[in-house]
Amino acid sequence: MSTSQEMSFQRACALDDVPADQALAVTIGEYDVAIARDGEEVLAVQDLCTHAHVALSEGDVERDGGSCTIECWLHGSRFDLRTGQPSGLPATEPVATFPVEVREDGVYVDTTTTLNGATPQ
């Protein structure tokens, strides 16, 4: 990995800081990010509902079959933590999803790019 690639990932938190059934709110660069776990996998999305502009990290994280979603507590829209896609109204636009690396000393997130092509707000 080149130095410029390594510099794009920033340490967000310790792995133990990420709860099993909730999201952890962190700020990385200019973005608020919600970090959640699905088993051993760690996922990161912009911590901002695309419908109502409220913190997604304040909502519930649910696992159902192969999906893992986070709920906007204000109006009930759910977002897939892997794809960012909303699964129900009133949200219609995806939330940005960010690359995550789990390293020996913590969880690292790259907010300079998105996995799903959504532009962070």
Q: Rounded to an integer, what distance in angstroms lies between the CA atom of residue 107 and that of residue 51?
A: 28
Low-confidence ranges of the chain (pLDDT < 50): 1-5
Q: Residue 43: in which H helix or E strand, if any?
A: strand 41-46
pLDDT tens for 37-66 read 998 999 999 999 999 989 999 999 998 877
The torsion of the CA quartet 16, 57, 20, 100, rounded to 10 degrees, works out to -60
pLDDT at 7: 61
pLDDT at 88: 84
pTM of the predicted model, to two decimals?
Answer: 0.91
Q: Rounded to an integer, what distance in angstroms lies between the CA atom of residue 59 and that of residue 74?
A: 8
